[in-house]
């Protein structure tokens, strides 16, 4: 499923190197006004010229999680235009360069249609297949989960990022199918729970169901092994309220 819920345009090949438009803040700007401006801005943000659609605050938290969890593999459910796929791969490469990973870094990206992401990634790194695997299909499909598993080396440490369609059905399926990849101490991030918080909803067309599905799952036998880390929302602004999960047993 596409992870492009908070964007205004479909994934696209990119030729732009421009910065996103700045957000103006005054002493009279309300938190909601600031959030809406930032939510709109982030859909035009880029990494290596490729649309990425992630808040800088959330990317910084990811850097902390990668350092603490030391995953060799990031499973990205919802790849959009491929910018975040490269971002995760490059962060893993940096950690590998410092000798802190136990195995070669790898990103496995899943989406219904990966043609744009694949072209964008190939344009930046023609040799991407050594470190990035694309798996095309529905995250709810157990056969897709099996294919993802074939790209995870034995003994690898995984972090999972759920950024697909942001509905109850896809959130529940992603948690059910992919949580087993996360080791004790590792992280599973459920993105864009903001769609279920009224004051954060920019567009009535946004889907709903992320947080309700997450709460139900956490109360179940598998989800009870995870803890919600609200303390990781350290920068005061996040698209993923209650979405940073750590396996504790």
**Domain-embedded: residue 232:** yes
Read off the pLDDT of each residue in 99-110 and give the average, rounded to a whole number: 96
So what's the pLDDT on residue 12?
58
Q: At 208, which CATH number?
A: 3.40.50.150
Read off the pLDDT of each residue in 125-150 and give the average, rounded to a whole number: 98
pLDDT at residue 2 is higher than 70: no
pLDDT-derived band at 202 (thresholds 50, 70, 90) equals confident
pLDDT at residue 10 is higher than 90: no
Read off the pLDDT of each residue in 34-47 and give the average, rounded to a whole number: 94
pLDDT at residue 28 is higher than 90: yes
pLDDT-derived band at 3 (thresholds 50, 70, 90) equals very low
- Residue 194: which of 222, 214, 219, 220 has the closest Cα? 214
**Domain-embedded: residue 18:** no
**Domain-embedded: residue 225:** yes
So what's the pLDDT on residue 176?
98
**Residues of the domain holding 234:** 31-247
Helix (H) / strand (E) element for 75: namely strand 73-77
**Domain-embedded: residue 8:** no
| Predicted TM-score (pTM) of this structure | 0.93
Say how many domains are in the chain: 1
The radius of gyration of the chain from alpha carbons, rounded to an integer in Å, stands at 17
So what's the pLDDT on residue 5?
35
**Domain-embedded: residue 6:** no
**Domain-embedded: residue 4:** no
Question: What is the tens place of the pLDDT at every residue in 55-99?
Answer: 999 999 999 999 999 999 999 999 999 999 999 999 999 999 999
Residues 6+ apart with CB under 8 A from 42: 6, 20, 53, 54, 55, 239
Read off the pLDDT of each residue in 190-207 and give the average, rounded to a whole number: 95
**Domain-embedded: residue 40:** yes
Q: Euclidean distance between the first and final Cα of the chain, in Å?
A: 29
**Domain-embedded: residue 21:** no
Percent of the chain with pLDDT over 90: 90
Read off the pLDDT of each residue in 28-52 and give the average, rounded to a whole number: 94
Q: How far is CA 101 from each of CA 94, 106, 150, 188, rounded to the nearest angstrom?
A: 10, 11, 20, 18
pLDDT-derived band at 19 (thresholds 50, 70, 90) equals confident
């Amino acid at each position: 499923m596409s992870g492009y819920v908070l964007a205004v345009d479909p994934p696209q090949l990119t030729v732009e190197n421009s910065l996103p438009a700045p957000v103006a803040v005054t002493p009279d700007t309300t938190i909601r006004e600031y959030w809406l401006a930032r939510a709109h801005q982030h859909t035009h943000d880029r990494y290596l010229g490729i649309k990425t659609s992630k808040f800088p605050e959330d990317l910084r938290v990811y850097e902390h999680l990668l350092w603490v969890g030391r995953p060799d593999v990031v499973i990205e459910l919802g790849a959009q235009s491929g910018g975040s796929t490269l971002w995760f791969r490059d962060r893993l490469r940096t950690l590998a360069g410092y000798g802190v990973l136990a195995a070669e870094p790898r990103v496995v990206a899943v989406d219904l249609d990966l043609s744009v992401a694949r072209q964008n990634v190939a344009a930046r790194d023609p040799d991407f297949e050594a470190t990035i695997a694309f798996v095309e299909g529905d995250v709810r499909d157990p056969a897709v989960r099996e294919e993802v598993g074939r790209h995870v080396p034995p003994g690898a440490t995984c972090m999972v990022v759920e950024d697909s369609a942001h509905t109850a059905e896809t959130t529940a399926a992603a948690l059910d199918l992919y949580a087993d990849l996360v080791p004790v101490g590792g992280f599973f991030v459920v993105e864009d729970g903001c769609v279920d918080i009224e004051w954060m909803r920019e567009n009535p067309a946004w889907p709903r169901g992320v947080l309700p599905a997450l709460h139900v799952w956490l109360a179940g036998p598998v989800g009870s092994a995870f803890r919600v880390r609200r303390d990781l929302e350290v920068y005061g602004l996040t698209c993923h309220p209650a979405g940073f999960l750590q396996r504790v047993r």
